[in-house]
Amino acid sequence: MAAPPITIAVPKGRILAEVLPLFARAGIEPEPAFADENSRALRFATNRPDIGLIRVRAFDVATFVAHGAAQLGVVGSDVLIEFDYSELYAPVDLGIGHCRIAIAEPRAMAEADDPRGWSHVRVATKYPNITRRHFEARGVQAECVKLNGAMEIAPVLGLSSRIVDLVSSGRTLKENGLVEVETIAEVSARLIVNRAAFKTQGETVIPLVEAFRAAAEEAAHAA
């Protein structure tokens, strides 16, 4: 009896281009439309009939894998830090998608600000759990305004005094008059696996995990 097919969930956006070379090193070749950000398709075939791909929003990758709709996925560690998914393993740091979760505020505020003196902050973020935990550990009360995007405009419009967001080059912050004042966590993309699938479909899942581990190590050595 043939083993059930494997579905790998991959996020749209910046990680997509970086993950393609790792797929190639792992022996997986997606159909051409997979790399086309303009394609509205959500499911894609590969050169292996037992492996299919889905392309979804980054925050949804972990949900698909946690609930078993996909057996493996690629997701930023920021998502794993924000949500406590007991149904997931994260066995491989893929070494791509490097950025950081950071606190930023308007440049004029930063010039006279001392984070050590904070007691209460109002923060716009799509990471309310990470933000609250970070500030609670410092004894600071954090009022979080949940946004899914356009974080940088929140201080300008008075919605919040600060933001917590992903930062890579810092260019977007600079263009919106913000400066980074503190790093909460370094972020990279991880291979995640559904715990149940790891056991029930191990004959396929485990070799895939090892293939991605080898691909990530090979890419790191080649860099």
Q: What is the pLDDT of residue 117?
A: 80
* C-beta separation of 145 from 159 below 8 A: yes
Q: What is the pLDDT of residue 119?
A: 87
Kindly report the CATH class assigned to 99-186.
Answer: alpha beta
Could you give the CA distance from residue 149 to residue 4 in angstroms, rounded to a whole number? 37
Could you give the CA distance from residue 12 to residue 37 in angstroms, rounded to a whole number? 7
The pTM assigned to this predicted structure is 0.91
Q: Where are the domains of the chain?
A: 6-97+188-222, 99-186
Could you give the CA distance from residue 201 to residue 99 in angstroms, rounded to a whole number? 33
6-97+188-222 and 99-186 agree in CATH topology = yes
Listed in sequence order, the residues at least 6 apart from 146 whose beta carbon sits closer than 8 Å to its beta carbon are: 125, 126, 128
CATH for 6-97+188-222, options being 1.20.210.10, 1.10.287.130, 1.10.3430.10, 3.40.190.10: 3.40.190.10
Tokens of 211: 């293939």
Could you give the CA distance from residue 205 to residue 211 in angstroms, rounded to a whole number? 10
> pLDDT digit of tens for each residue in the chain (223 aa)?
556 789 999 998 889 999 999 999 999 999 999 988 888 899 999 999 999 999 999 889 999 999 999 999 999 999 999 988 888 999 999 999 999 999 999 999 988 877 778 889 999 999 999 999 999 998 999 999 999 989 999 999 999 999 999 999 889 999 999 999 999 999 999 999 999 999 999 999 999 999 999 999 999 888 7
Could you give the CA distance from residue 148 to residue 217 in angstroms, rounded to a whole number? 33
Tokens of 111: 């010039």
Which one, of 125, 77, 83, lies nearest residue 97 by Cα?
A: 77
Q: Which residues share a beta bridge with 56?
A: 11
Tokens of 115: 């984070």
Could you give the CA distance from residue 100 to residue 200 in angstroms, rounded to a whole number? 35
Listed in sequence order, the residues at least 6 apart from 45 whose beta carbon sits closer than 8 Å to its beta carbon are: 30, 31, 52, 53
List, as one string, the DSSP characters of 7-68. Answer: EEEEESSHHHHHHHHHHHHTT--B-GGGG-TT----EEEBSSTTEEEEEE-HHHHHHHHHTT
State pLDDT tens for residues 77-101: 999 999 888 889 999 999 999 999 9
Could you give the CA distance from residue 126 to residue 165 in angstroms, rounded to a whole number? 7
